[in-house]
Amino acid sequence: MRENFKRLCFRVAGLLVVLSLLPLVQAQSQPPIQDECIAYAFTRSGQHGFLLENNSIAYGNTVFIRSNCEQLSVFMDGEFYSSHSNQSEIQIYFEGNSLNMTIESGNFIYYAQNVVLFESQFAWSQNYLEYQENLPELTFVELGKMVFQENVVSVASIAIVWFLSVNIYWALINHYLDRNLFEEVVE
């Protein structure tokens, strides 16, 4: 019985070793269909691009649309805006704070609804620099003084906790003694 178990263990271990040495079988995927239409929209601010999706935030005033579609229709706020044919990149300058855009081409539809647009980086970086100039002057604490203050606060908090805990325990002990024990007075 014991030898049968050993043989079974050796067989299973051998099978696992052989299976681990076999090359993995890779699934063959079909190449993408070249006739498929794909389009997406994004904005740019400096070196950063912001993909326009539903309920998203983006920086930049120019909307770029990249597409491999033959015919492309752009709708803004549900109304027809423009139509383009055989263009790989389209630029649309947009003024406003929110954007509702739909891109259609045959069976392909791309939605970018409730997109909040902020100014491009160059505008808001300048605003940030102006904001930094108007900040009140900061005072810095030296490292030695900061360490001393931390140590003083630590010692003070330990002393306060010790004092409170001793007083609370003293009050509890006195309360217990007064209620449960009595003293006998002997003359």
- pLDDT above 90 coverage of the chain, percent: 17
pLDDT (tens digit, 9 = 90+) per residue, 83-121? 888 878 888 887 777 888 888 888 888 888 888 888 776
pLDDT at 158 over 90: yes
Q: Residue 101 is inside which H or E element, if any?
A: strand 98-105
Of the chain, the end-to-end C-alpha distance in Å amounts to 90
Q: Grade residue 27 by pLDDT with cuts at 50, 70 and 90.
A: low
Quick one: average pLDDT of 46-75?
86
pLDDT of the residue at 10 = 79
pLDDT of the residue at 5 = 77
Model-level pTM greater than 0.85? no
Domain range list for the chain: 39-132, 142-178
Q: Which CATH class is domain 39-132?
A: mainly beta
Q: What is the DSSP letter of 118?
A: E
pLDDT (tens digit, 9 = 90+) per residue, 1-26? 677 777 887 788 887 777 777 766 55
pLDDT of the residue at 26 = 55
Q: Give the C-alpha separation, 180 to 187, whole Å.
A: 23
Query: How many helical (H) and strand (E) elements, i.e. helices and strands, does the chain have?
Result: 3, 9
Do residues 113 and 78 touch, judged by C-beta distance below 8 A?
A: no
